Amino acid sequence: MTWHKAVIAKLEASGIFESVSIIGGKVRASIDEVRFLDIHFDPKMRSYSYALIDLTVLYPGDKRIFGWDDFPHEGVAEFKQLATHPHHFQRRASDGTWIFEPSSMRGDVTSEMDLVMAAVEQYLDRFSHDMEP
C-alpha cells in the first residue's frame, strides 16, 4: 500500500474532514472551504510536512496555523538550537510570528497521522469554543 492510500484511509475514517484527495504529490484533507490539512511526504528522502492551513489568516504569505516538518529554515537562529533539529513543530504566536518547538515526528506518515489528527481536533475544539457567544 502506498503512503497516500494509508494516510487517506486514516483521514477519511477520522470523521474530521469533508473530503480527502490527492493534489499533485500531497494529500489534502479539507475541513471546510477555507481550512485544510496538507500532507507532503517524499519516501526516498523521508522528508515530510504536515500543515494545518487557514486561508482567512490575516498575515501575509504563509497561511499555516501550525505544523510539523523537517525543513531546515535557514536564517532562523533559534531553530538550529532545537534538540530535534531539523525536525520541529511550528505554530503562530498571537502577533503572527512563528514559534519553533522540538518534535518527535520523523516522517512515519501512517503512524504520525494519529497525533496530527488529534492536534487538528484540539484546534477545532478550541476554535469552536472561541466562536461561542
Mean pLDDT of 116-121: 96
Of 22-36, 47-61, 69-83, 92-106, the range with the highest mean pLDDT is 22-36
Per-residue model confidence (pLDDT) at position 131: 46
Q: Where are the alpha helices (DSSP H) in the chain?
A: 3-14, 77-80, 109-130
Indicate the pLDDT class of residue 128, thresholds 50, 70 and 90.
low
Give the separation between CA 14 and CA 11, rounded to whole angstroms: 5
Domain range enclosing 116: 3-130
Q: Kindly tell me if the per-residue pLDDT of 29 is higher than 90.
A: yes
Rounded to the nearest integer, the mean pLDDT of the chain is 90
**The residue to which cell 517524499 is assigned:** 42
Q: Are 30 and 20 in contact (CB under 8 A)?
A: yes
Please give the pLDDT value at position 132.
44
* Cell digits of residue 9: 484511509
Residues in Cβ contact with 25 at an 8 Å cutoff, skipping those fewer than 6 apart: 40
pLDDT, position 17: 97
Question: 11 is written with which cell numbers?
Answer: 483521514
Q: Given a cut of 60, is residue 130 above it in pLDDT?
A: no
Residue written as cell 530535534? Answer: 84
Q: Give the three cell numbers for residue 37.
A: 490539512
* Burial class (CB within 10 angstroms; exposed 0-12, middle 13-18, buried 19+) of 30: middle
Work out how many domains the chain is built from and give that number: 1
